Structure 1
Amino acid sequence: LVTTYFKENSLRKTANIFHMKYPNKSKPNPSTIYNLVNKFIKTDSVADYYHSSHPIKLNNIDPNSRLEFCNILILLITNNETFISRICFTDEAVFYLNIKINVWAGIVDNFIIRLFFFEENLNSSKYLELLQNNIIPELDNLFSEGHRKTEVFKMSPNNIEDLKQRIVNEYENITFKQLSNVRHMFIIRLKYCAEVN
C-alpha cells in the first residue's frame, strides 16, 4: 500500500489498485492508507510502535474553510517547489520535573530554530513577545549561521538545567530526514484533508 501510494500520490487510487489486485480482500479505507504512509514516513516501517503523543481531533466547525485552506496550500506548493521550505513549522511541549517547563521549537526547511524554555504558562501575550523578540530575529539569522520526552527522561534529570540540556541534546540529534519528513507529512495531510472533505 505504501509503495503504491508513493507511485500514485492518491489515497483513493491506492485503495482501488489494492482492491483490483486483491479482489477477495476488503478494499482499504483511505484513512487506513494514510495512517500506514504516515507511520512509514515517521519510522521507516509499517510495524506497530509505541508512541505517547495524542493526535488533535479536527472539529467540523467550518469544513469549507479547512478545505479552502488545504486547496490553496496544495496549489502554492505545486506551483512553487520552494514554497514549503519557507514555512515555519512549530511545536510546543510540556516537561515536568519538580516544576513545569514549556518548550517551544520550530523548523524552517532543514534548520531547527533554537529552543525556547518557559517555566510559566505560554499564553497569547507571552507567545507574541516570543515571536517578536526571539523567533523573528532568529529567523533573520537562520541562514547566516548556517523530540523526545522518552529520551530526555531515560535517566532521571538531576535538576531543571540538566532537563533543559537533555532537551537541547535531543533536538540536536534530529536528522535531515526527520526534518524533511515534517514537510512531506504536511503535504500528505493537506491532500488527505482535501480528499475527505
Structure 2
Amino acid sequence: MANGNVDFIKNILFTDESTFPLHGRHNPSVARYWSRDNEHKVYAARTQYPQKLNVWAGLVGDHIIGPFFIEGNLNGHKYLNILQNDVIPSLQQLDNVQFGSIWFQQDGCPAHNSRQVKEYLNAQFPNRVISICGTLTWPPRSPDLAPNDFFLWGYLKSKIYGFDEERTTNLDDLQTKIRNCIQDISPDILANVRRTFYDRLGYCLAQNGGLFEHLI
C-alpha cells in the first residue's frame, strides 16, 4: 500500500471472531496485558461450561458484515460454511463496494488456515488475502493492529455489559443486543476506525514492529 493511499483501507475486509459470555465474565483466552516483562498473571474461572455466544463479524468501508453466530467452537469446516453461506453473499450484496477490489484479512486462528479455507479464499480473493499464509502476511499476536480487536469487540461489550441496566438472561436476548448494537455503529465511527488503523500502522513502523501502546 502506498503511504498516502488512505482510501485503500476502505477495500480491506477486516474479520475476526469473539466470545460473548451471557453475563460478561472475563475471558482470559483473549485478554491482552501489555508489558515488556512476563508478569505471570493468572485468572481463575468459576465454571467449566459457561453460557456464551461465539460471534463472527467483518468491517469493510462504511459497512459491518454480520454478526454471524457460530454453534460451538470454531473449526475449519464451520468457518468454511460461514464464508460460503454468509460472508461472501453478504459482501456481494453491499452497495458501493466492488467485490473484485476487496482484500480479505484474518488472523492466525487454526480454523482460518485449513486447506479448504485457504483454497476457497484464494479463489474468491485471488492475490488479495491478508493472513499468515496470504498474499500479504498478517503479523501474529497483533490485536493492537486489528480493528475488530482494538475497536469492535470492546465497543460492543461496553455497550452490552457496561451500561446496560437490564441484565441479559438468555442467549437469544444476547444475540438481539449484539445485532442492535452493531446496527447503531455509524459510518462516521467506522471512518474514525480506519484513520486509527492507519495511524497505528505508522506507530508500528516507528517501533520497528515492537510494542507501540505508549504512543497511542
Cross-structure match for 2:10: 85
Q: Do the aligned partners of 1:100 and 1:120 also contact (CA within 8 Å) in 2?
A: no
1:112 aligns with 2:37: no
Q: Take 1:182 and 1:144, find their aligned partners in 2: how far apart are those partners?
A: 19
Aligned to 1:151: 159
Are 1:168 and 2:93 counterparts?
no
Distance 2:181 2:88 in 1: 23
Q: Is 1:121 the counterpart of 2:73 in the alignment?
A: yes
Query: Is the contact made by 2:21 and 2:51 (CA closer than 8 Å) also made in structure 1?
Result: yes
CA contact (8 A) 1:100 1:119 kept: no
Which runs of structure 1 show a deviation greater than 4 angstroms over 4 or more consecutive aligned residues?
Answer: none
TM-score, normalising length from structure 2?
A: 0.50
Matched position secondary structure for 2:158: helix
Whole-angstrom CA distance in 2 between matches of 1:104 and 1:114: 7
Alpha-carbon distance in structure 1 between the residues aligned to 2:195 and 2:96: 25
Classify the secondary structure of the residue corresponding to 2:93: helix
Which residue in 2 is equivalent to 1:130?
A: 82
- Unaligned runs of at least 5 residues, structure 2: 23-49, 98-154, 209-216
Give the whole-Å Cα distance in 2 for the aligned partners of 1:164 and 1:107.
18
| TM-score when normalising by structure 1 | 0.55
Q: Which residue in 2 is equivalent to 1:94?
A: 19
* Unpaired segments ≥5 residues, structure 1: 1-72
State the 1:144 CA deviation. Answer: 7.3
Residue-pair matches, total: 121
Larger RCO of the pair (alpha carbons < 8 Å, separation 6+): 2
Mapped to 1, the partners of 2:199 and 2:6 lie a distance apart of 15
Contact 1:110 1:176 in 2 (8 A): yes
Q: Map of 1:42-53 to 2, 5 A cutoff? A: none
Find 1:184's aligned residue among 161, 173, 195: 195
Structure 1 distance, partners of 2:57, 2:190, is 12
Relative to structure 1, is the Cα distance of residues 91 and 181 closer, same or farther in structure 2, using a 3 angstrom cutoff?
farther
Cα RMSD (Å) of the superposition? 2.1
